[in-house]
A and B are shown apart, each in its own frame.
Chain A
Amino acid sequence: MYISNTEQEKKEMLEKIGVSSFAEIISCVPREFLNPEVNLPKALSEIEISKRMRELSGKNRRILSFVGAGVYDRYTPAAMKAILSRGEFLTAYTPYQPEASQGILQTIYEYQSSMCALYEMDCSNASMYDGSTSFAEAVKACLRISGKKKILYSAGINPRYIETAKTYLAEDKQYIFEEIPLKDGITDIKSLSEKADGETACFLVSNPNYLGIIEDIESLNKAAKEKGILTVCSADPFALGALKTPGYCGFDFAVGEGQSLGLPMSYGGPYLGIFTCKKEHVRQMPGRICGMTKDKDGKRGFVLTLQAREQHIRRDKAASNICSNQALCALGAAIYCALLGPKGLKEACMINNSLAVKASIELSKIKGAKLKYSKPFFNEFVLDLPVRSLELRRKVSEKFSIDPGLDLGHLGKEFENSLLICLTENKNESDIENLKKAIEACI
């Protein structure tokens, strides 16, 4: 238990309150609801907890994994871990009293600036839950701005992002989701031009796409803009250390999964939703925003700003119900950007890409294996195999303690034999060699 009062102190407090027992204080609660039986095991000591949790963590198999698909096995710099564990950051809360939270506010400002720099966008908020919910909120913002109902999306977007967006729209039948198919692994720009019409609110695309391939986002944005529709690009912030940016290409909104900036995978979270937009849409941005200002003496300081969009002021008229979310993860991203800098990030991107290229060459040498697409990719690629990929994945995992990549059967029949294989800076050439041997032994 983490309670500080002694029995003696409790007695003194009851006296001050003017009651003889605790029961008197809660006499407003109908007796029938008080002190029910709670069927829980008895408490463990700290030592027992430590042992139990170690035992449970051991039940997760530690294997060499080549699964990516939007969540990446990144190296977390030691300095980043150390700073994030500081109690002054860890145990503070949303900076409601800015004078007593200048440190956190400044880090949010630095985070926003770094995200704007990576995406080359005008504005970033302080964070969202994750890439998928950030994406869903961008779709909602487009619907609010345009007042239109049709949503065109590239088939290259992570299907879970589309599912999340649909859930976020509460299955409202008035909104129509229409898919733009892929051609040779990238979004079919001709189909986009045909399908975009006066009813269309927005066009959504992902870069790199779900299959790891780099999209021509500049041409896609241009084609969408010719039809006068809003555009959203979900881009991996890490990859933007090297790749052409949504801002440069003219997108209205750019979102992304910030886990890629050095945060652990931790089976789903906590991650970081990056949300950026053009200046003209800033008032449609959900979530918190930090701004620079001055104090009474003219000294520089930081506050949460543009709050008229938010739930605690607008209540049912707010842009979103989101309030505090992933501040510590955003701080992590800001630290990651500061540690790597523009050159380090670019170098890390090139390492990812080089290893993936190397792996794609090596693995295509496996008998019966073949790259599904010939287009340039970033750090993951689709490999077609002579066997069903789900079964292969199970076998390789069981026999060799290697997760060889994500089986793509959920994308349709033509993907039943496909694996999406991801390389990151945490892997090396001997890992690729081991993967190759393992797959060869299992087909």
Chain B
Amino acid sequence: MNDIMKFDNELSIEKSRPSKRGLHFNCPACQTNIPASHLRKNEPKLPELSEFDAVRHFTRLSKYNFSVDTHFYPLGSCTMKYNPRINEEVSALEGFTSLHPMAMDENAQGTLEIIYDAQERLCRLCGMDDATLWPVAGAHGEYTGILLAKKYFSVRGEERDEIIVPDSAHGTNPATASMAGFKTVNLQSNAQGLLDLENLRKSLNPKTAVIMMTVPNTLGIFEKNIKAICDMAHQNGTLVYMDGANLNALIGIIKPGDFGIDMMHLNLHKTFSTPHGGGGPGAGGILVKKILSPYLPKPKVEKKDGKYFLSDDIPHSIGRIKAHFGNTQVLLRAYAYLLKHGPEEFAQIAENAILNANYVKASLEKIFPPYSSQYCMHECVLTPPEELLKNGIRTLDIAKRLLDYGFHAPTIYFPLIVHEAIMIEPTETESKETLDAFIAAMKKIKEEADKDPEILKNAPHTMPVKRLDEVLAARQPNIKW
């Protein structure tokens, strides 16, 4: 990564020189009304750089990263697919970006139309009835969804305070449940990594508000009993929430609404191709069945006589989940992606995502035993061979060595129920050629581990830094200059 330039990790503040400036203004005659007592006493310690200094500083830093544009990034459950450039271009049109969130509806018709149409298309794709695109992240969507359930039961006068979460779930699921004031009931998966119906039956009780399901689950396996699970929940008066993180496996070929789920969140930055930005911004969004419509956050985008408007008239709404509408510029990107795909094209996404994951699994399973022998959906969970573990090699070492081969590591140590998990999600946008190169690297790493395990234990060797001391970082926190 750093072969073309010397690694430079000097901070911008260390490059700072008094009186340098990157941006100048033409000042009107200064006429302030702020008394000295309201002014800050000390100048903030911000860098003083020329524009060129700043551009070079940040451009250099951009080079010290793996990204989808530069590297294969098979991070499981994160759907690191290609981010089409047309999305960037159209979402940056000034007509969209200069719009104030409290602009009057009549001045915001273009954006409102897009939000409205995006909601409708997403509902159709997923077999759901209604939507809100306010949430700005998966976790924000989850929270919104669980608040919907809370409101639903409170309006019905039912006191339910438990949420069932399978042990294979993303950490956000139990965190969301407890953030909304629910008790989390952990449900153990069976040996195949699936939900155990008998176990579920025992856990369901009159206090159970919601069961949170990830479909396909985090092992990349489709819950074949999903219909029975939903039916069982509904018989108990329990709502079914679907974590939509893995929707890429279903898109265009399976509608989650058909199994009987009541609500789901979307990660538009995963399935719908918006860039991950080094850790956001993404966009959440919640799709619901009719029964939950009355509780959606306000305001809602409505249409009447060909005009779009924000409506606050939702008496049972859970309220406002953010001061202003969601991550609109991210939604615009997702909308461009929705336009780019019709029913057939969507089906191709799921098919190729699943094909790619199974190809990687089939090519590596003799060396890296998969957690489950059955065909996977869009991602597969492998484990290091026993003999490597005996030699003191851990998944972490394999992950670090992959960096040396120019591949971002898969998700590791998740799901928690798999010992030393390696979770690989290639996505549909990667070519067989890239997958073959990755497979070859994994095989080579196994050989290296057999011959000279130290290579792995000391990896990475070619990054700007060697393995970093996380314990030191936590013990003596240094989090600012």
Contacts and interface: CB of A to CB of B under 8 A. Distances in A.
B252 A323 contact: no
A4 B54 CA distance: 37
Given A73-B98, A242-B34, A266-B99, A46 B340 contact: yes
B323 A315 contact: no
Given A30-B224, A103-B61, 19 more contacts: A25-B375, A43-B341, A46-B340, A50-B90, A57-B110, A91-B69, A93-B276, A97-B400, A160-B324, A264-B98, A265-B98, A269-B327, A313-B171, A315-B171, A321-B175, A322-B137, A322-B139, A324-B280, A376-B38
A297 to B, nearest CB: 5
Given A44-B340, A311-B171, A338-B12, A269 B329 contact: yes
A321 B59 CA distance: 32
Contacts of A166: 319
Report the 9 A-B pairs with minimum CB-CB distance, sorted nearest first: A57-B95, A328-B277, A268-B325, A59-B110, A87-B69, A327-B279, A270-B281, A339-B22, A4-B431
Given A17-B362, A88-B65, A329-B280, A130 B136 contact: yes
Contacts of B244: none
A39 B254 CA distance: 13
B241 to A, nearest CB: 13
A342 B46 contact: yes
B46 A353 contact: no
A159 to B, nearest CB: 9
B81 to A, nearest CB: 7
A295 B136 contact: no
A100 B139 CA distance: 25
Contact of A315 (B58, B175, B258, B463): B175
A428 B28 contact: yes
A243 B465 contact: no
Contacts of A110: 11-13, 47, 481
Contacts of B178: 316-318
Contacts of B403: 97, 99-100
Name the residue among A36, A97, A124, A161 with the largest chain B CB count within 10 angstroms. Answer: A97
A2 B346 CA distance: 11
Given A13-B355, A61-B107, A268-B328, A296 B224 contact: no
B358 A25 contact: yes
B290 interface: no
Contact of B106 (A18, A61, A95, A117): A61
Contacts of B368: none
Given A44-B340, A113-B13, A295-B468, A38 B124 contact: yes
Contacts of B458: 296
A271 B89 CA distance: 19
A160 B147 CA distance: 18
B1 interface: yes
A25 B354 CA distance: 8
A278 interface: no
B480 A56 contact: no
A118 B46 contact: yes
Contacts of B400: 97, 99
A307 B171 CA distance: 13
Contact of A104 (B65, B222, B297): B65
Name the residue among B61, B78, B278, B330 with the largest chain A CB count within 10 angstroms. Answer: B278
A442 interface: no
B339 A49 contact: yes
Interface stretch (A145-153, A225-233, A286-294): A286-294
A71 interface: yes
Contact of B21 (A39, A163, A245, A344): A344
Contacts of B47: 110, 337-338, 341
B44 A103 contact: no
Given A58-B110, A240-B40, A327-B280, A33 B254 contact: yes
B397 interface: no
Nearest to A318: B175
Nearest to A401: B107
Contacts of A63: 107
B55 A267 contact: no
B46 A340 contact: yes
Given A56-B114, A92-B67, A338 B41 contact: no
A168 B146 CA distance: 11
Contacts of A79: 22, 51, 54-55
A130 B431 contact: no
Contacts of A5: 352, 355-356, 431-432
Given A71-B324, A99-B465, A120-B42, A59 B67 contact: no
B205 interface: no
Interface in A74-115: 77, 79, 82-83, 85-104, 106-107, 109-110, 112-114
A79 B57 CA distance: 12
B367 interface: no
B62 A86 contact: yes
Interface residues of A, number: 203
Contact of A34 (B83, B254, B352): B254
A40 B65 contact: no
Given A40-B124, A43-B345, A98-B468, A2 B48 contact: no
A423 B257 CA distance: 48
A267 B103 contact: yes
Interface in A41-75: 41-44, 46, 48-50, 52-54, 56-63, 65, 67, 69-71, 73
Given A13-B432, A311-B172, A2 B46 contact: no
**Chain B interface, >50% SS class:** loop
Nearest to B82: A2
A190 interface: no
Contact of B22 (A77, A168, A320, A325): A77
Contacts of A32: 258
Name the residue among A62, A79, A103 with the largest chain B CB count within 10 angstroms. Answer: A103
Contacts of B179: 320-321
Contacts of A240: 40, 44
Interface stretch (B232-240, B440-448, B470-478): B470-478
A422 B341 CA distance: 42
B322 A132 contact: yes
Contacts of B86: 46, 49-50
Nearest to A132: B323
15 contacts: A1-B349, A59-B110, A89-B67, A90-B83, A92-B278, A100-B408, A102-B64, A129-B137, A243-B39, A265-B98, A312-B170, A335-B54, A339-B23, A345-B46, A357-B32
Given A1-B345, A331-B278, A345-B46, A172 B67 contact: no
Given A270-B329, A358-B31, A88 B70 contact: yes
B193 interface: no
Nearest to A123: B479
B273 interface: yes
A281 interface: no
B41 A248 contact: yes
A97 B43 CA distance: 36
A142 interface: no
A377 interface: yes
Contact of B9 (A127, A288, A301): A301
A167 B345 contact: no
A308 B279 CA distance: 19
Nearest to B183: A316
A91 B67 contact: yes
Given A38-B343, A92-B68, A158-B323, A1 B175 contact: no
A327 B330 CA distance: 13
A65 B279 contact: no
A363 B241 CA distance: 53
A293 B80 CA distance: 28
